Structure 1
Amino acid sequence: MNHRHTGTGSLMVTIFVFPGVRLLDVTGPIEVFASANEFGGRYRLNLVSADGNEVTTSAGTRLRADRSVDDARETSDVLVVPGGPDWDRMIRDDALLDIVRRLTANSRRTASVCTGAFLLAAAGLLDGRRATTHWRYSRQLALRFPTVRVDPDAIFVRDGTVMTSAGVSAGIDVSLALVEEHCGAEVARAVAKDLVVFMQRPGGQSQFSVRSRTPHSRQEMLRKVLDAVAEDPGADHTLSAMARRAGISSRHVTRLFFDEVGATPARYVEQIRLEAAQAMLETGDDPLAVIACRAGFGSPETLRRAFVRHLGVTPSAFRASFRTTGMAAATAPAAAGYPSDLAASQPVP
């Protein structure tokens, strides 16, 4: 790795890598800390694997470790615990969890990236703490580890000496926060400009999923209803159908939605169906009639009205916005300035 600071008073950043780790979870923080050294930072970066050997990431790229866990005796100022797609296997790997505990015990601060939060939780390091993870997995984190107070909307969460961050690119956000803590806002701002990212991105994860921002319900009957809507938005989700599914009265279903979801059953179903239609428009070429049927709107006109009412655009216009990255527009002369030059494109974790 380049840009290592070797002067006195440097800060040690240890990044734990393991087979199946997600590449960007590792390289995002590395780029932030390495870039900080170009603006007066004082970071030493070390990749640590279980045995000191290289590991293969989930993308197939090989990463060379600097040392083994047994050789990592120096106290780290920051430990970065990345995640991986196969988090379910990771949290059942006792040797992996033991390493996380050992490295954390020898670090002043621990920061997880994406599903790395599952490793911290399984190692018992998030008990009683607030935490976050990728919006797609926040509900799983809450269900598997009920002692963790999961915030599904946060980009990153700080609770004592432990920090957790959302989806893969949120590793950049949490690393920038650490640079600001160590080196000041001016250095962090310079790094953000250098990497062409927001120093503090607007909004939270709720912009990515209706389901993720629905509070986790401890009512099994309501969870059953919510899961059924999410799994098949196009099915029958009338109030009476929900009541039959939950085995309670329609009035009770409505009361539970108001108390725990903060919306009527009909409004919640429409939001989930809208999200499903958006996903189909973003990724496929199906006709609007097919999308309307699959998402549960029934007809293209009903779909169009929902889009205009909630998003202010038609389904066709929404689809067109995902046909290009905007490269042609990006090559045209633009107004100078930062971060206004990023305003047209919001990063996705």
Structure 2
Amino acid sequence: MRKIIVGMVLFPGFQLLDIAGPKDAFAQVKVLTAGECEYEMLTIGTTRSPLLSSSGLTVIPDRTIFDPCPEFDTVIMPGGLGIFDVYSDSALCDWLRAQGKRCRRIAAVCNGVFAFGAAGLIEGKSVTTHWMDAVHLGESFPSAFVDPDQIHVKDGSVYTTAGVTAGIDLSLLMIEEDFGKKLAIDVAKYLVVYLRRAGGQSQFSPLLDVQGDVDSQVEAVQNYLLANLHQTHCLTSLAARVHMSPRNLSRLFTKETGMPPMTFLADARIDAARRFLETTDQSIKEISHRCGFENPDGLRRVFVKRLAISPGEYRSRFRSGVAATRTAPDGAFVKED
């Protein structure tokens, strides 16, 4: 029998699914191997009191960071609304630093990576987090390399993930590393999830989330582009509309929105195509025309490059109010009504 000991940190306001998801995935290993392989999981609290999760459920930890603990193979740090109240706590940072030296691997789910940052564990490391916290993470820990579009990132012994359900993706990755791909697939089938999700967080986060200053020339250009996505545009023609030089428009646009005008246009077209795919039955050809793509192949190329899935697959996953088709973990197609 092979046993792997995993410590899961708890703090006030932790995200319950960040812990419950991996615990359920790891627990299936013992069931599916008839006890030949096992993860022994212990919850480690930052206080000696029962801990209230962000969803309102209370968990009593097995140990605390102040108690003697077994030698962990893996330590998992969840995220949650409470992370920003505790991540710089000196006792927690000291405990995480010590575990980082002893453990084979340490992992942060969602914004739990902020605790790793405060403990100095992600300096020079490639990491990810929930897309809503990616900018804040990069600003807080500039020595880390933040990739906001990954479901999970492994850099040496440090593992980080996107938000919430990505903790399950993380656990499946670890199961595959520890016990092989077949067992990881069996666990994924039991949980009715994908072993590896195609694409990244950009499938779920809004690509277009920037606005120019109210009543500014930049806002005027944005409004014009959003109303005329189907037309052909260039920096020179956009600058002429607001009586500016192309160079000055590019400088001002980037200052107010964080991106050049043509990048904004590209993102706006993808964002509009996403909405059409999610909410209408329009053909890919019609959507590509309405959103300013030269042809359906152009739309497909952009989707595969930016979202790592095709427009058809995106529609099957995210369309609302219409029948859709999805792929089960074993590769079978399932009709959803």
> Normalising by the residue count of structure 1, what TM-score does the alignment of the two structures yield?
0.68
Distance 1:72 1:185, change over 3 A: farther
The whole-number CA distance in structure 2 between the counterparts of 1:181 and 1:230 is 49
Structure 2 CA distance, aligned partners of 1:26 and 1:278?
32
- By how many angstroms is 1:32 displaced? 1.0
Counterpart of 2:46 in structure 1 is: 50
Instruction: Tell me which residue corresponds to 1:20.
Output: 13
Work out whether 1:322 is the aligned partner of 2:320.
Answer: yes
Deviations 1:211-244 (A, max 9, x none): 49xxxxxxxxxxxxx8545999x9323569x99x
Counterpart of 2:3, as a letter, is S
Number of positions where the alignment pairs a residue of Structure 1 with one of Structure 2: 289
CA distance in 2, matches of 1:231, 1:134: 29
Which structure 2 residues correspond to residues 34-49 of structure 1 after superposition, within 5 A? Answer: 34-40=27-33, 41-49=37-45
CA RMSD of aligned residues (A): 4.3
| Matched ranges for 1:1-349 at <5 A | 9-40=2-33, 41-209=37-205, 211=207, 227-229=210-212, 235-237=219-221, 250-251=246-247, 254=250, 265-269=261-265, 271-272=267-268, 275=271, 305-306=290-291, 321-323=319-321, 338-341=330-333
Alpha-carbon displacement from aligned partner over 1:290-340 (angstroms, at most 9, x marks no partner): xxxxxxxxxxxx999239986999xxx99x93247x6xx79xxx9988233
- CA–CA separation in structure 2 for the residues paired with 1:280 and 1:89: 40
Aligned residue for 1:45, secondary structure, equals strand
Shift of residue 18 of structure 1?
A: 0.7
How far the C-alpha of 1:89 sits from its partner, in A, is 2.8
Question: 1: distance between equivalents of 2:120 and 2:168?
Answer: 25
Mind listing any 5+ residue stretches in structure 1 that lack a counterpart? 1-7, 213-225, 284-301
Mapped partners of 1:337, 1:12: distance in 2: 28
- In structure 2, the residue corresponding to 1:16 is in which secondary structure? strand
The C-alpha deviation readout for 1:113-144, integer Å capped at 9, x for no partner, is: 01111111121100000101112221221122
Distance across 1 between alignment mates of 2:213 and 2:55: 29
SS of 1:98's equivalent in the other structure is helix
- Per the TM alignment, residue 71 of structure 1 is displaced from its structure 2 partner at its CA by 2.8
Q: Which letter does structure 1 place at the counterpart of 2:57?
A: T
State the one-letter code of the partner of 1:24. Answer: L
- Percent identity reads 35
- Find the aligned partners of 1:150 and 1:176 in 2 and give their Cα distance: 22
What is the alpha-carbon distance in structure 2 between the residues aligned to residue 194 and residue 24 of structure 1?
17
Query: 1:58 and 1:86 mapped to 2: Cα distance?
Result: 7
Instruction: List gaps (5 residues or longer) in structure 2.
Output: 223-234, 280-286, 304-309
1:186-221 alpha-carbon deviations (Å, 9 max, x no partner): 111110001011111111122233649xxxxxxxxx
